[in-house]
Amino acid sequence: MSRPGPQTPSYWYDDGPVPLPARLVAPLYGAAIGLRRWLYRHGLLRRRQVPVPVIVIGNVTAGGTGKTPLTIALVQRLREAGWNPGVASRGYGREESSRARWIDADTPVELGGDEPLLIAHKTGVPVRVDRDRVAAARALIEAGCNVIVCDDGLQHYRLARDIEIEVVDAQRRYGNGLMLPAGPLREPVARARECDFRVVNLGQVAEPPQSGFGEWPMRVRIEGAQPLTGGRERPLSAFSGQRVHAVAGIGHPQRFFAMLRGHGIGVVPHAFADHHRYQSEDLDFGSGLPVLMTEKDAIKCHGFARDWHYSVPLHADLPAAFWIALLDRLGKLGQG
């Protein structure tokens, strides 16, 4: 069985030439996006309000920037502050994608999608997947939620939002600055400046965070590896100086590999396409080395996990001032 690699074209983030077909299509895509935004701005397409605050986490680039770790951290912080959050998501890559569904830790991943299932597993809050995020938000409100968090919903304009949080990768930023498919942009960079908060994912760095004016640094850290078959978590120091197979089916696999190398681990990298649906053959590397994978990948591998398969939890840390600013903004909207 072939193992698909990352879907991101190399020319998005380097100085390589952009293929002519992509360069020809990009202006058409940009015009369509611009027209859609114009229709919403002038009320020809209607935004739908819901009676509780809505927080949208997203990005203007295609691919992973760290939205899910931030969503999990935000939901946990909202609960600590006395809110009852719920998460609305499209549930990309799931079967029966047109059907709305409640997600909990026991939902099969093929029905719930990997990211909603991970959020439900890590937070325990109500999670609703629905292509119609307005309907998802209303269902969450009926379930008792008084603030809605939308995972990856920046371009879903139909649901009116009160707070927008952009997440951007510190290394890759906006790539070559071109619209899809010539570059990684879903929307023009100017759209990002309209967001209330810009969070810059610095990854796991040893030096103090460095970010631009008006940007909030987010550091992510990994500390241990949890056996998929159960048992105690092992510190990553236990793998230091060893070779391991590292598996990542996320938007930016190299970030995960670099984090493991930062702990002195010898990484044999295996990059899969984002949202890849794993089968047991995918993890058969022909050796007895430990296999370390992201939580997003691990949640799809429990059915055929072996004793040497490990999930590496990711933790997102942001400055206290960020949480103060966000909760203050949210408090002014009224807890309802």
Structure confidence at residue 241 (pLDDT)? 92
Task: State how far the Cα of 220 lies from the Cα of 207, in Å rounded to an integer.
Answer: 13
Which token pair is 87?
Answer: 């998460």
pLDDT tens digits along 10-44: 889 888 899 999 999 999 999 999 999 999 999 99
Structure confidence at residue 327 (pLDDT)? 95
pLDDT tens digits along 219-230: 988 989 999 998
Residue 319 CB neighbour total at 10 angstroms: 14
Low-confidence residues of the chain: pLDDT under 50: 1-6, 208-209, 336
Per DSSP, which regions of the chain are E strands?
54-58, 85-89, 101-103, 127-129, 147-151, 163-169, 197-203, 215-221, 224-227, 234-235, 243-248, 266-271, 291-294, 309-312, 315-317
Give, rounded to a whole angstrom, the gap between the first and last alpha carbons of the chain: 53
Task: State how far the Cα of 165 lies from the Cα of 154, in Å rounded to an integer.
Answer: 8
Give the DSSP H or E segment for 138: helix 133-142
Three-state SS at 255: helix
Domain assignments of the chain as residue spans, ordered by start:
20-218+317-333, 223-313
Structure confidence at residue 207 (pLDDT)? 54
Q: What is the mean pLDDT of the chain?
A: 89
pTM: 0.89
| Choices 1.20.272, 3.40.50, 3.30.70, 3.30.200: CATH for 20-218+317-333 | 3.40.50
Structure confidence at residue 208 (pLDDT)? 45
